[in-house]
Amino acid sequence: MPAETRLFLCRSDNYGVLLHDPASGATASIDAPEAAPIEAALKATGWKLTDILVTHHHADHTDGIRPLKDKFKCRVVAPSAEAGKIPAVDETVAEGDTVKVGTLLANVIETPGHTLGHIAYWFHADALAFVGDTLFSIGCGRVIEGTPETMWQSLLKLRALPDDTLVYCGHEYTAANIRFAKTIEPGNPDLAAREKEVARLLAAGQATIPARLGAEKKANVFLRADVPAVAATVGLAGQPAAVVFAEVRARKNRF
């Protein structure tokens, strides 16, 4: 049976998301930004929380873990490299490991850069990827603990996933990301198409995620640092993609 998801806002601009396996009844919260909205989503769906899958240690992804663990006795799965910074961890995982939510199966992909131990969970059979703060729609996370080179390599790993993958990220930043991306690729027709789609979604009060990875590959400038025209625009024609990525990311920081 296919996985079901429920997306909702937490805090100010964080997304919470529940992943439900109808076959077994298992339900995972991807990260736990805040307990109350997660509990409200569980109540609305009638799903029972069995697991929390953590992408990285930042408080706006982990503050809800302790109260949810106390209430639901759920399993907490976290990246092994950051387990010491995350509360109530039961299991640690690293690159190449698999995690089950009921009958749903995820591959763990290490995506360092935003934090050094950051991981993504890819549910291959369900074409779902939960990428935390590594990849956003038309954006990427700030490179806080790693280097631009490590972040670029992480983005390449996510870019290698199939085009039909639905990407769930940690924040609703899409509109601002598009405003920035247009400064680098003003003539990109796929970016223009995404801008229209996002305007329509936001006007209707809807979330702009999940994003389809195939569309992100064409429109997200942070996945396109190896496109010669992008390198040329930032004055780095012929330079390695990681150098171009670093410049694009630095411009976004100043934007």
Residue 58 vs 224, nearer CB to Zn ion: 58
Least distance between Zn ion and beta carbon 214 (Å): 25
Q: Which is nearer to Zn ion, 54 or 241 (CB)?
A: 54
Q: How far is the CB of 133 from Zn ion (least distance, A)?
A: 4
Least distance CB 177 / Zn ion (angstroms)? 15
Nearest to Zn ion of 27, 177 (CB atom)? 177
Q: Is 235 left (phi over 0), alpha (psi -120 to 50) or beta?
A: left
**Residues that bind Zn ion in the complex, under the rule CB under 5 A:** 58, 133
Nearer to Zn ion, 93 or 234 (CB): 93
Instruction: Tell me the sheet residues that pair with 153.
Output: none
Q: Provide the residue type at 148 as one letter.
A: P
Least distance from C-beta 170 to Zn ion, angstroms? 7
Beta strand spans in 2-156 (E): 4-10, 14-20, 27-30, 51-53, 75-79, 91-93, 98-101, 104-110, 119-123, 128-132, 135-136, 139-140
